[in-house]
C-alpha cells in the first residue's frame, strides 16, 4: 500500500498570525529577533516536530516573550497560551489547526545576551492538517 504525504503548512507563519491577532499593537510578534527591540516582543521558532500520519504535521513551537519586567512577561505568556488554545479548530493562513498540546512551561528564562529585558518562554505541539481546506456550501 502506498501512502502519500501532503506538504505541511507553514507552522511558524500560522503561529505568528494567531499571536499577532491576540496581541495587536501591544507586542511585536516575529520569527526573528528585531534589530531595534521594542519594549515588548514575541519570538516564534519551530524547534522540531513530526508528521506521523499523512494528514497531520505536528510542529514543536517555542514561544519567547520579552518584556520590561516579570509581570509583563508572565501576562504575555498567559495571553499567548490562551490564544493558541482558542485557535484550535480554526483556519489560519490557509491551515486548519487541529490542536495545541503537550505544552511545557512557561518558565522564567533570562536571555544570556539581552540583560535589559526579561524573557519567559514555553513550548508546545501545534498540529496542523496537511489536507486541502475545502469550502462547504451553506445548507449542505
pLDDT digits (tens, 9 = 90+) for 1-29: 666 777 889 999 999 999 999 999 999 99
Q: What angle do CA 99, 102, 107 make, to 5 degrees?
A: 120
> If DSSP codes are grouped into helix, strand and coil, which group holds residue 76?
helix
Rounded average pLDDT over 100-126: 95
Contact 5, 43 (CB under 8 A): no
Q: Which residues contact 33 (CB under 8 A, 6 or more apart)?
A: 43
Report pTM.
0.90
Domain ranges of the chain: 11-129
Write the DSSP symbol of residue 131. Answer: S
- Which CATH topology does 11-129 take? STM4215-like (3.30.2000)
For residue range 25-78, list pLDDT tens digits in order. Answer: 999 999 998 899 999 999 999 999 999 788 899 999 999 999 999 999 999 999
Amino acid at each position: 500500500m502506498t501512502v502519500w504525504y501532503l506538504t505541511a503548512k507553514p507552522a511558524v507563519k500560522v503561529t505568528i498570525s494567531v499571536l499577532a491577532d491576540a496581541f495587536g499593537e501591544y507586542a511585536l510578534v516575529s520569527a526573528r529577533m528585531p534589530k531595534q527591540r521594542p519594549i515588548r516582543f514575541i519570538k516564534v521558532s519551530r524547534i522540531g516536530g513530526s508528521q506521523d500520519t499523512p494528514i497531520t504535521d505536528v510542529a514543536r513551537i517555542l514561544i519567547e516573550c520579552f518584556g520590561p519586567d516579570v509581570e509583563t512577561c508572565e501576562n504575555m505568556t498567559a495571553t499567548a497560551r490562551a490564544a493558541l488554545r482558542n485557535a484550535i479548530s480554526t483556519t489560519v493562513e490557509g491551515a486548519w489547526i487541529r490542536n495545541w498540546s503537550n505544552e511545557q512551561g512557561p518558565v522564567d528564562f533570562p536571555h544570556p545576551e539581552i540583560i535589559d529585558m526579561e524573557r519567559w518562554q514555553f513550548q508546545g505541539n501545534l498540529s496542523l492538517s496537511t489536507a486541502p481546506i475545502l469550502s462547504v456550501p451553506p445548507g449542505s
